[in-house]
Structure formats: structure tokens, C-alpha cells
């Protein structure tokens, strides 16, 4: 069976009018990938270089940007190659690896957002205990769990899915996600139940935790002075906006996987592209513009670059 799967190639049939718009697709996708690399690397480097940004809140932001880089790199290079190729195919093993990376990094995003909400909760609701609770060891543990736990759970689904016999070899997507399960000869009840379990762990539970922490933050700040409310709004609003956008994109992924046959090809393509474009590009822009400490360093960086050219 392994030898059979190793020789199996999956056709990615989610592109629309590829022969007509091949080079336009390539230019747009390559430009987006470069923008994602540039914006996220800028955030990471600024936080790495400036010591005043070596705080848990900014470390989590850097981790989120790094996660966006890894997530995008698992998707974009292959898509760019595909739009220039005559055949849009991927080997079964490579498809499984891309599936693993896609959902591992997506799960890590939610856990990183949960860690950030916990950091804001401690900072605003328990300021005197903040240095003790959010020490270096706590940050390392939270970062390790955010990347390790999703990988451990997603690898189970990946291994089981890789052992399923295929009766179809053309998927309606442009990369490997849950739509791949439609190619199985027999729908696995275990994968369905396990998928719901993973979704509970990395979507529902973190979202409920974040909601709980922000309710507590709202209650504390409501009874505090205007200065505290302003500080809470500056640090919490970008976080909530990123969380809301990410939940919407996860719902897109679920809708595309569940209603693939009921959606037109162009609608599937648009929704799929939003999943891999919007969040990796939105995160660094949102944190870079809305977080004053980061925005200050970004303005200084661009001023230096402009002065050098002059």
C-alpha cells in the first residue's frame, strides 16, 4: 500500500481559467507572498533588535508573525509553481505533509492568541503580580505548547488519512486541506469525530478562554480611570480584531470543505485565497499600526531609509 501511495499524484483542480490568467495569478500571488514576508519579518526584526520590546506581549506578537511566515511558506511556493505549470499536481506524501503544516500552524495561531489574551489579562487585572506570573519561563512554556500541541494532534489525523485508500485523484482546492478527505473511498467515522475533537481544542476552547479573559478585562477597566481604559483599548483592540478575522477564515475553511460540491468554482477559489492571504498579511499590519511602541520603531526605520536615499 505504501508503494502505491508513493506513486500517487493528486490533481489540484481549484484554479479558474488558469490558461487565460496564468501570469496574472503568478504576479499577484508572488507579490502577496513577498508582502507577507516583508511585513512579518519587519515586525520580528524590530522586536528582536529593540530591548524595550522584549516583553511577553511583543514576544507573542513576534511568535504570531513567525507562525504566519511558516504558514505562508507551506502554501505559497507550491501555488506559485502550480500556476506556471501545465499540470497542477502534488504527490500523495507531499499533500499529506502540506495538510499537516497547514492545520498545525493554524492551530498554533489560536493558542498564541490565547497566550496573548492571558498576558493582557494578567497585565491589566493583576498588574502587581505580572512580573512574577509572566516570567521568562512562563513565556517559553506557552510558546512551546502553542507549537507542540497542534502538531501532536494534527499528526494523528495526517497519519490515519495517509493510510486511507483513494478512489478519487482530483480535489477541488488549490492546496491540501480537508477537501482531500473527499477522495477517500470510505468516509472515516473516526476522522470525522477526531476532526471535531481537534476543532474543539484549537478553536472553541481557546475562543471561550479569550472571551472569558476579555470579559474580566472589560469589567476591571470599566471601573478604572480613563488612562487604564485607554491603555487596555490600545493593546486589546488589535488582538480582538485579529481573533475575529481568524475565526471568520476558519469558518471559510470549514464551509469550503463541507459544501465544496454546492459552491461554484470561482466562489471556492475566492474563499480559499482569503484563508491564505488575509490573515498572514493582516496580522503584522494591524499590530504594526495599532501598537504604538512598534509603530514608533517602524516610522523611525522608514525615516532612516528615506534619509539614506536622499
Gyration radius (Cα) of the chain, Å: 21
Scan for cell 506578537, then name that residue: 61
**Burial classification of residue 19, based on how many CB atoms lie within 10 Å of its CB (0-12 exposed, 13-18 middle, 19 or more buried):** exposed
Q: Are 162 and 191 in contact (CB under 8 A)?
A: no
Residue 9 β-bridge partners: 91
Q: Are 107 and 205 in contact (CB under 8 A)?
A: no
The cell numbers describing 13, all together, are 483542480
From first to last of its 310 residues, the chain has per-residue pLDDT tens of 343 444 578 888 888 877 888 888 899 999 999 999 998 998 898 889 888 888 898 899 899 999 999 999 999 999 999 999 888 889 888 999 999 999 999 899 889 989 988 998 898 888 888 889 998 999 999 999 999 999 999 999 999 888 888 888 888 788 888 878 888 888 878 888 888 888 888 888 888 898 888 888 888 877 777 766 776 677 677 777 777 777 877 777 777 766 665 667 787 777 777 778 877 887 777 776 666 777 777 777 677 766 666 5
pLDDT of residue 76: 93
Q: What are the distances in angstroms from CA 37 to CA 20, 42, 134, 281, 297?
A: 28, 8, 29, 9, 18
Q: Are 175 and 81 in contact (CB under 8 A)?
A: no
The pTM for the full model equals 0.86
Residue 12 β-bridge partners: 171
DSSP the chain: -HHHHHT-EEEE---SSHHHHHHHHHHHHHHHHHHHHHHHHHHHHHHHH-GGG-SHHHHHHHHHHHHHHHHHHTTHHHHHHHHHSSS-EEEHHHHHHHHHHHHHHHHHHHHHHHHHHHHHHHHHH-GGGHHHHT-HHHHHHHHHHHHHHHHHHHHHHHHHHHTSPBS--EESSSS-SGGGGGGBSS--HHHHHHHHHHHIIIIIHHHHHHHHHHHHHHHHHHTS-HHHHHHHHHHHHHHHHHHHHHHHHHHHHHHHHHSGGGS-HHHHHHHHHHHHHHHHHHHHHHHHHH-HHHHHHHHHHHHHHHHHH-
Q: What are the distances in angstroms from CA 197 to CA 155, 160, 193, 204, 254?
A: 14, 15, 6, 10, 14
Q: How far is 248 from 63, CA to CA, in rounded Å?
A: 21
Q: Are 14 and 172 in contact (CB under 8 A)?
A: yes
List the domain boundaries for the chain. Answer: 2-309
pLDDT of residue 54: 87
pLDDT of residue 307: 67
What's the gap between Cα 100 and its chain centre?
Answer: 13
In CATH, the number for domain 2-309 is 1.20.1070.10
Give 99-115 pLDDT, tens digit per residue: 999 999 989 988 998 99
Q: What are the distances in angstroms from CA 140 to CA 43, 136, 210, 305?
A: 19, 6, 20, 34
Amino acid at each position: 500500500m505504501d508503494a502505491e501511495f508513493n506513486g500517487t499524484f493528486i490533481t489540484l483542480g481549484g484554479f479558474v481559467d488558469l490558461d487565460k490568467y496564468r501570469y496574472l495569478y503568478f504576479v499577484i500571488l508572488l507579490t502577496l507572498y513577498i508582502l507577507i514576508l516583508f511585513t512579518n519579518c519587519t515586525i520580528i526584526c524590530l522586536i528582536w533588535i529593540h530591548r524595550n520590546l522584549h516583553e511577553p506581549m511583543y514576544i507573542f506578537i513576534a511568535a504570531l508573525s513567525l507562525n504566519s511566515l511558516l504558514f505562508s511558506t507551506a502554501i505559497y511556493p507550491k501555488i506559485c509553481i502550480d500556476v506556471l505549470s501545465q499540470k497542477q499536481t502534488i504527490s500523495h506524501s507531499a499533500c499529506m505533509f502540506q495538510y499537516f503544516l497547514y492545520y498545525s500552524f493554524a492551530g498554533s495561531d489560536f493558542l498564541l492568541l490565547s497566550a496573548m489574551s492571558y498576558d493582557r489579562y494578567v497585565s491589566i487585572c493583576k498588574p502587581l503580580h505580572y512580573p512574577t506570573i509572566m516570567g521568562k519561563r512562563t513565556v517559553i512554556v506557552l510558546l512551546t505548547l502553542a507549537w507542540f500541541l497542534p502538531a501532536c494532534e494534527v499528526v494523528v489525523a495526517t497519519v490515519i488519512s495517509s493510510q486511507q485508500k483513494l478512489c478519487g485523484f482530483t480535489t477541488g482546492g488549490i492546496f491540501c486541506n480537508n477537501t482531500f478527505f473527499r477522495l477517500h473511498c470510505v468516509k472515516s467515522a473516526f476522522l470525522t469525530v477526531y476532526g471535531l475533537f481537534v476543532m474543539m481544542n484549537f478553536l472553541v476552547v481557546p475562543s471561550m478562554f479569550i472571551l472569558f479573559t476579555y470579559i474580566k478585562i472589560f469589567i476591571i477597566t470599566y471601573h478604572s480611570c480613563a488612562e487604564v481604559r485607554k491603555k487596555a483599548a490600545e493593546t486589546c483592540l488589535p488582538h480582538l480584531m485579529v481573533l475575529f478575522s481568524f475565526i471568520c477564515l476558519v469558518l471559510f475553511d470549514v464551509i469550503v470543505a463541507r459544501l465544496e460540491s454546492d459552491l461554484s468554482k470561482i466562489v471556492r477559489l475566492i474563499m480559499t485565497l482569503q484563508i491564505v492571504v488575509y490573515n498572514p498579511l493582516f496580522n503584522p499590519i494591524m499590530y504594526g499600526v495599532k501598537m504604538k511602541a512598534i509603530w514608533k520603531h517602524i516610522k523611525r526605520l522608514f525615516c532612516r531609509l528615506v534619509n539614506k536615499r536622499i
